Structure 1
């Protein structure tokens, strides 16, 4: 007898559970959506816009990535010595020229900071506006040896043979953005 009673109780519980779950959905019909009220943003007023004719912008030379830059690993003793120039070197640019976009000469990227600082001192003594810039690479910090900036690319290109004679480094002219 207990098994018939148990079967009836289990069946009753299942029917009640189904009724509790399914019947409310059948009698409710479509669920009601509650919409929130919001204020509309006013449209932009009509304003007469004067069109500026497009100016021809010269193509800029963008610097190449550091992955393609040749890296020299030199000790202070192995770094090339700068020979004194036979002609008078160019003067350093004024502060007004430095604030404008222009061109620079990159002589190399070095690991040894002391070598770069020594080369910068020697280039400055020779009359070139040289400086170093530290950049982070995947191999660690590197020091770029730079000369410039200058406003005329041709003038810097003319300095390349003199700099090669002084430093024995092949430089290249790159775009400079202050």
Structure 2
């Protein structure tokens, strides 16, 4: 008798479990799926454009990049020796000066940092605000020898012959934006 009672209890438990699992799905109906709606982008309206004659467009100088700069690679022994100059002695650039936009003279790009540092010290002793800037290139680290910055391009261009006389390096004036 105990086995019949056990069979009925087990059967009842199974039926109750099936009812708990499947009955909610049957009573809910079809599950709703959320679909996002996308708005179509409207076509560009056709507009009539009135043509106006162009007056004169002002010339704007742009920075052409380092590719146009002649690269000079010298060792410390081969670096040019500076001649004495009677130039006025302006102060070296401060961190605040280097953050303002303007113009800068690039005298060359060197592989040897020691020769660039020596030239920077000689230029500073001659009264020019010189500094060096390290850049990464395909061949490794290169050091730019820079003088400036200045706010007026013509003033820096006027210094080019004096710097050529001092260092035997042809410099170029570039736009400087920190």
Query: Is the shorter-chain TM-score for this pair beyond 0.5, marking a shared fold?
Result: yes
Change (3 A) 1:33 1:168: farther
The residue that corresponds to 2:73 in the other structure is 73
Normalised by the length of structure 2, the TM-score is 0.64
Question: CA offsets per residue over residues 13-44 of structure 1, 9 Å max, x none?
Answer: xxxxxxxxxxxxxxxxxxx9833479xxxxxx
Change (3 A) 1:58 1:97: farther
| Contact kept? 1:93, 1:150, Cα under 8 Å | no
C-alpha separation between the residues in 2 aligned to 1:97 and 1:133?
15
The residue that corresponds to 2:131 in the other structure is 131
The residue that corresponds to 2:165 in the other structure is 165
| Contact kept? 1:73, 1:110, Cα under 8 Å | yes
**Bigger mean CA offset, 85-94 vs 70-79:** 85-94
Q: What's the CA shift for 1:177? A: 0.5
**Bigger mean CA offset, 98-107 vs 114-123:** 98-107
Q: Which runs of 5+ in 1 are unaligned?
A: 1-31, 39-55
Change (3 A) 1:67 1:153: closer
Question: CA offsets per residue over residues 110-147 of structure 1, 9 Å max, x none?
Answer: 11111100000000111100000011111111000000
Change (3 A) 1:138 1:166: same
C-alpha separation between the residues in 1 aligned to 2:95 and 2:111?
29
Q: Which runs of 5+ in 2 are unaligned?
A: 1-30, 38-56
SS of the residue aligned with 1:71? coil
Change (3 A) 1:112 1:94: closer
The residue that corresponds to 1:85 in the other structure is 85
